[in-house]
Amino acid sequence: GHEILGEIESLGEGAPAGFQVGDRVTVDPLISCGVCEACRGGHRHVCKELKLLGIHENGGYAPYTVVDADMMVKIDPAVQDEVAALAEPFAVGYHVVSRSGLKVGQTALVIGAGPIGRVIAVTARSAGAAKVVVSEPNEARRALAERMGFETIDPAKEDALARVFELIGENGADVVFETSGSKPGILLTTSACKIHGTIVPLGLGGAPVEFCLGTVSFKEQRVVGSRVYPYLDFVGGVRLLERLAKATDLSPLVSDILPLAEAQKAIDSMSSGANTGKILLKCND
């Protein structure tokens, strides 16, 4: 419920200029306290008490949603609804790649080809990466990554590290994005990342994983955290999506579109692992 696309039905008194009824908008769902050290330092996206509309408060799983006007960002009407609905994940991808410091001509490894992993792969490629390789044991998800033009690794059937060296080069990747949260994925990061490379851990696996920091030290790697997005990166993600929608087939990111009444079916499909992409809920006919 925090990935919202809709049309403005009405505007409250004093709403800022630039919006009008009928505009199609997405929503920056972050709710910050405004008073903690992070917020006062201009980093409200890592607020000590951060909440999200649609997770901690009622959000997009409804025909109508009330949001502050300063949370809305308009999207080009030429972008189809099914693609425009991916604005929030692309804001995540935009911020992640920005945090990584990826430079034009560098190489990237994405571990995990879930929806966010594929978004990051697309974003890294658009940022100028010379090569982006995706590692994913799930056959269906791997096939979707290949459909989007990425070379892939099946870590369940081949030596993942050997394939990284084969596909990217014997020194490893300049940037490794770990989106799976799995133990094998996490343990692959330092070996697959080159000397002076960057590792960005994103997986939210619940169980702790033993991790040897010695390799990070010996190879002088950087480990960079990334959480949601500041407002300007949210807008940057929307603009990136608008540009990519004109030149790239983003449909493989969406696995299904269901009516709001079937929200539980969508959640069950994701929980069971049957779903391979984003499920969109259509709240209004």
Alpha carbon distance 118, 93 (integer Å): 9
Given this model, what pLDDT does residue 177 score? Answer: 98
Q: How confident is the model over 216-245, as pLDDT tens digits?
A: 999 999 999 999 999 999 999 999 999 999
pLDDT tens-digit map of 183-228 = 999 999 999 999 999 999 998 877 888 888 999 999 999 999 999 9
Cα angle value 236/253/54 (rounded, 5°): 65
3-state SS class at 259: strand
What is the per-residue pLDDT for 205?
A: 72
Going by pLDDT thresholds of 50, 70 and 90, the confidence category of residue 285 is low
CA distance 58 to 28: 14
State the chain's mean pLDDT as an integer. 95
- C-alpha 132, offset from chain centre: 16
**Spatial separation of the C-alpha atoms in residues 202 and 179, rounded to whole Å:** 5
3-state secondary structure of 199: strand
* CA distance linking residue 219 with residue 233, whole number of Å: 30
Residue 40 in tokens: 């006062």
Residue 285 vs residue 251, higher pLDDT: 251
3-class secondary structure, 41: coil
Inter-residue contact 92 to 230 (CB < 8 Å) = no
| CB neighbours of residue 251 within 10 Å | 14
Taking only the tens place, the pLDDT of each residue in 84-135 is 999 999 999 999 999 999 999 999 999 999 999 999 999 999 999 999 999 9
Residues 66-94 have a mean pLDDT of 96
pLDDT of residue 194: 98
Neighbours of 194 (CB within 10 A): 19
> Among all chains, which residue has been given the structure tokens 């009516």?
259
3-class secondary-structure state, position 285? coil
- Residue 279 to residues 115, 116, 141, 270: CA-CA distances in angstroms? 10, 13, 14, 8
Greater confidence (28 vs 273) lies with: 28
Percent of residues, the chain, with pLDDT higher than 70:
100
Asked if residue 4 has pLDDT above 90, the reply is yes
User: Is 210 in contact with 186 (CB distance < 8 Å)?
Assistant: no
The H or E element that residue 226 is part of is none
**Closest by alpha carbon to 148, among 167, 130, 122?**
122
> What is the SS3 assignment for 280?
strand
Distance CA 281, CA 4 (A): 10
